[in-house]
Amino acid sequence: MFCFWVIGIRCSKCSKCVSTLSRLTCVDYLLKNVNPGLSRRFKIEDAFNFEDFTEEELARILDLKLKKQDLDATDPAKKVAIEHLARMKMRPNFGNAGEVENLITQAKTRVLERRNKLSASERPSDIVFTPEDFDPDFNREAKAAANLAKLFEDIIGHESVLQRLSNYQQMASVCRLRDLDPRDQIPMNFVFTGPPGRRQMKMSE
């Protein structure tokens, strides 16, 4: 989340406007610990707070950017794009509309590679993105169970933990089939505890 301040400064010869844009956590630390004098001029309670875009807003931004660049995408491709952006939102420093632009740029590279494999007669005149253009591993759910077993094949004595993770995978798949958000049903953050040497770091990675 970003905060935006505007403050007017007047003197006998001129009038100036100073604006400040920063992440809330960064500017809060600045005002309280680095330069407390700024807090007299920039009231954090008066800040304009810019929240992250919702998935619906990101979908609208995606449509607008595609239209502006004379591009198109299938409905399944757009769904994959929004799912990809939703995962990125859980990471720090999410770029919002900038992430949409980055995703389109990556999709352009992939679609050109895909088109280059076709003969000239097979290439469509318009560029239409497909799911694999936005996310080459978009079908990861179909291989999730096998990937989980392979990922932890060298882990011994943690069958209950693996079963729990497998259950979460199944719940996530059912949620998507029912068009529900898995984040509302299962946890997305985990804590691994135990004595040294029990491979907690390996499992968390």
Each residue's pLDDT tens digit in the chain (205 positions)? 555 555 545 555 666 666 656 566 666 666 667 666 666 666 667 767 778 899 999 999 999 999 999 999 999 999 999 989 988 888 878 889 999 999 999 999 999 998 888 888 888 888 899 999 999 988 777 666 667 777 777 777 778 888 888 888 888 878 877 878 777 888 878 887 777 777 677 677 6
Task: Supply the pLDDT for residue 20.
Answer: 59
Task: Supply the pLDDT for residue 144.
Answer: 67
Domain hosting residue 32, numbered range: 2-50
Task: Supply the pLDDT for residue 70.
Answer: 93
Q: Are 148 and 192 within one domain?
A: yes
**Amino acid at site 59:** A
Pairing of strands 48-50, 2-10: antiparallel
**Residue 180, both tokens:** 């529900």
Q: Are 80 and 123 within one domain?
A: yes
Cα(204)–Cα(122) distance, rounded to whole angstroms?
A: 46
Contact of 148 with 166, CB cutoff 8 Å: yes
Q: Are 79 and 114 within one domain?
A: yes
**Beta bridge partner(s), residue 48:** 4
User: At which residue do the structure tokens 């999709």 appear?
Assistant: 107
Task: Supply the pLDDT for residue 184.
Answer: 80
- The region, left, alpha or beta by phi > 0 then psi within -120 to 50, assigned to residue 93 is left
Provide CB contacts within 8 A for 176, sequence distance 6+: 141, 182
Task: Supply the pLDDT for residue 187.
Answer: 81
Residue 1 DSSP SS3: coil
Q: Are 163 and 114 within one domain?
A: no
Task: Supply the pLDDT for residue 121.
Answer: 84
Q: Are 45 and 65 within one domain?
A: no
- Among 134, 154, 177, residue at a domain's last position: 134
Q: Domain count of the chain?
A: 3
**What's the CATH code of the domain at 114?**
1.10.8.60
Q: Are 127 and 145 within one domain?
A: no
Q: Are 37 and 89 within one domain?
A: no
Q: Are 87 and 148 within one domain?
A: no
